[in-house]
A = this chain, B = another copy of it.
Amino acid sequence: MSAKDIYHEHVRNALVKDGWEITHDPLWLKWNRKDAYIDLGAERIIIANKAKRKIAVEVKSFVSASEMRDLCEAVGQFVLYRRALAKNDPRRELFLAVREEVYQRLFTEPDGQELCATEGLKLIVFDEDTQEIVKWIP
A68 to B29, CA, bound (A): 11
Number of copies of this kind of chain in the complex = 2
* B83 adjacent to A118 (CB under 8 Å): yes
User: Quick one: CB contact mask for A99-127 with B, threshold 8 Å, 1 for yes?
Assistant: 00000001001111011001100000000
Within 8 A of B (CB), among A58-99: 66, 68-69, 71-77, 79-80, 83-84, 86-87
- Between A and B, 12 residue pairs with Cβ closer than 8 Å are A31-B111, A32-B106, A32-B112, A33-B109, A38-B68, A68-B80, A71-B76, A73-B73, A75-B76, A75-B80, A76-B79, A86-B118
Partner of A76, one of B39, B66, B77, B106: B77
Contacts of A118 in B (CB 8 A): 83, 86
Task: List 20 other contacts, CB 8 Å, given A36-B68, A75-B75.
Answer: A32-B106, A32-B110, A33-B109, A39-B68, A39-B69, A40-B68, A40-B69, A40-B72, A41-B66, A41-B69, A68-B80, A71-B76, A72-B76, A73-B73, A76-B77, A76-B79, A80-B115, A83-B118, A83-B119, A84-B111
